[in-house]
């Protein structure tokens, strides 16, 4: 491998991953307020539905277990409404909250993986750059290092794609 090929490869990987992380951050910044608003709206609806159960408790029940857990909580607290349509609306909203919560939790897990693998690939590229003249003379080392960095990069870009698809599809 030539020095130029190594310089271009390593610097391009770092720049591409940094740009991909920035794009992902933009999607997250624009999507999170929608999720937080859904949680706040559910709390308001829960508070207006009943005062026998704290709205925070119903929100947590909706996040963790959706419709079923909220229904159990309402029944155990004798807080069900005489209007079945009102109860059904709250339970439907609880299911939406649960889906949003699960998406948020999976997204946070994926985000940790993106930053871990992406950070290792970027750091590996940046750490290897000063050693390019030596690596150019040792082709096997150069190929191995570039291969590891490229595999990490492709995996990170795949995670980015998956997260963005999840964020877009959740609307």
**pLDDT tens digits for 127-151?**
999 999 999 999 999 999 999 999 9
How far apart CA 118 and CA 155 sit, in angstroms, is 8
Read off the pTM. Answer: 0.75
The answer to whether residue 66 scores a pLDDT higher than 80 is yes
**DSSP-H helix ranges across the chain:** 3-49, 55-76, 84-128, 132-137, 139-169
- Among 46, 51, 47, CA closest to 71: 46
Higher pLDDT, 8 or 27: 8
Q: What confidence tier does 171 reach under pLDDT thresholds 50, 70, 90?
A: low
> Above 60 in pLDDT, residue 76?
yes
Identify the band that residue 167 occupies on the pLDDT scale cut at 50, 70 and 90.
confident
Sign of the four-CA dihedral 158, 159, 162, 167: negative
For residue 78, the 8-state DSSP code is T
Residue 120 or 166, more confident: 120
pLDDT at 91: 95
Task: Report pLDDT for 170.
Answer: 56
Question: Coil, helix or strand for 87?
Answer: helix
């Amino acid at each position: 491998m030539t020095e130029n090929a190594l310089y271009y490869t390593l610097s391009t990987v770092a720049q591409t991953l940094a740009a991909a992380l920035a794009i992902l951050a933009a999607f997250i910044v624009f999507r999170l307020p929608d999720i937080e608003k859904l949680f706040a709206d559910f709390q308001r609806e829960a508070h207006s539905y009943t005062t026998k159960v704290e709205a925070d408790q119903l929100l947590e029940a909706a996040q963790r277990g959706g419709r079923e857990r909220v229904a159990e909580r309402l029944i155990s607290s004798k807080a069900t409404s005489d209007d079945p349509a009102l109860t059904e609306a709250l339970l439907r909203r609880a299911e939406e909250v649960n889906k949003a919560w699960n998406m948020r939790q999976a997204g946070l897990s994926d985000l940790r993986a993106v930053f871990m693998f992406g950070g290792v690939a970027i750091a590996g590229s940046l750490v290897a750059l000063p050693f390019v003249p030596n690596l150019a003379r040792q082709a096997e080392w150069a190929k191995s290092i570039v291969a590891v960095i490229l595999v990490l990069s492709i995996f990170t870009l795949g995670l980015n794609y998956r997260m963005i698809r999840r964020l877009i599809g959740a609307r």
